Amino acid sequence: MDKPEPRTEIIAETKNYIAWKAEEPDGETTFHLELGAVTLHFFQEEWQEFKDLVKKL
């Protein structure tokens, strides 16, 4: 039996960076930042806190 794939959507993108989200088969939404060689993964609550932090910069 094939495992369902998450549905992904690009939130924002530049030449070197990308932010995207994935709606996982279990109903959880995860957020991902690809910053060159580093990728950060966030759950919904963490993503909101990160956005709050960025607004304060």
Q: What is the pLDDT of residue 21?
A: 98
H or E stretch at 48: helix 44-56
Name the one residue in this structure whose structure tokens are 């495992």: 3
Three-point CA angle 40, 50, 6, nearest 5°: 50
**Residues ≥6 apart with Cβ < 8 Å to 5:** 25
Backbone angles phi, psi at 24, to 5 degrees: -75, 155
Full pLDDT tens readout for the chain, 57 residues: 688 899 999 999 999 999 999 999 999 999 999 999 999 999 999 999 999 999 999
**Domain boundary assignment for the chain:** 7-56
Query: What is the model's pTM?
Result: 0.87
For position 54, what pLDDT does the model report?
A: 95
